[in-house]
Chains A and B, each alone.
Chain A
Amino acid sequence: GEDVEQSLFLSVREGDSSVINCTYTDSSSTYLYWYKQEPGAGLQLLTYIFSNMDMKQDQRLTVLLNKKDKHLSLRIADTQTGDSAIYFCAESPSYSGYALNFGKGTSLLVTP
């Protein structure tokens, strides 16, 4: 399939907000996901958004969806050093049997 695009690196200071952006490809995706991966580990589901929503907030996480531009973003408020990880956005296109199509991941580095 086509590529889901993410910026590769982001560095922020502890306590600041982080915004990770993603451009997806398939407008038929019913759900869009954000996963977190720490070194040597599997993927942990952070949050997801239904395609008919514009925004979803879950504690420190805010997801914004712009369907017209196929743009998804994840905002982490009050970023902590424990948030340092790789963040993947993923779409669920109907052509792949609902297997996920992932971006290459954004490495977030939080400095004290």
Chain B
Amino acid sequence: DGGITQSPKYLFRKEGQNVTLSCEQNLNHDAMYWYRQDPGQGLRLIYYSQIVNDFQKGDIAEGYSVSREKKESFPLTVTSAQKNPTAFYLCASSQRDRYTDTQYFGPGTRLTVL
């Protein structure tokens, strides 16, 4: 089955710890994205990557870091510098072609800081 997987589904972290969220896709898409969702809010862009070994900051990149060493993987690290990390994190991927650049989403990871 082709798709996007995120793990774990639920993650608990103590204050002051870094944590890494996994995102893997087997759709052969070039572009990958990380969004954050808070209750009653839309999705806000954290980081995006259009191609392997390249990524760009989104609107709320402070306190987060990413890497894109492989086409199929785009892990997100939530560092201790992120002031309010409790949220639902969504990963997406897309392949721009002549007709569309539609993004497909994973099931999400809910991070709770204790």
Contact = CB atoms under 8 A, between A and B. Distances in A.
B42 A104 contact: yes
A99 B45 contact: yes
B43 A98 contact: no
B48 interface: yes
B45 A96 contact: yes
A4 interface: yes
Interface string B17-53: 0000000000000010101000011110100101000
B100 A31 contact: yes
B58 A98 contact: no
B42 A33 contact: no
A31 B99 CA distance: 9
A53 interface: no
Contacts of B31: 98
A96 B56 CA distance: 9
A43 B94 CA distance: 14
A4 B101 CA distance: 19
Contacts of A48: 100, 102
Nearest to B46: A99
Interface string A7-46: 0100000000000000000000011010100001111110
A100 B43 contact: yes
**What 4 pairs across the A-B complex have the smallest Cβ distances?**
A102-B42, A42-B105, A43-B105, A104-B42
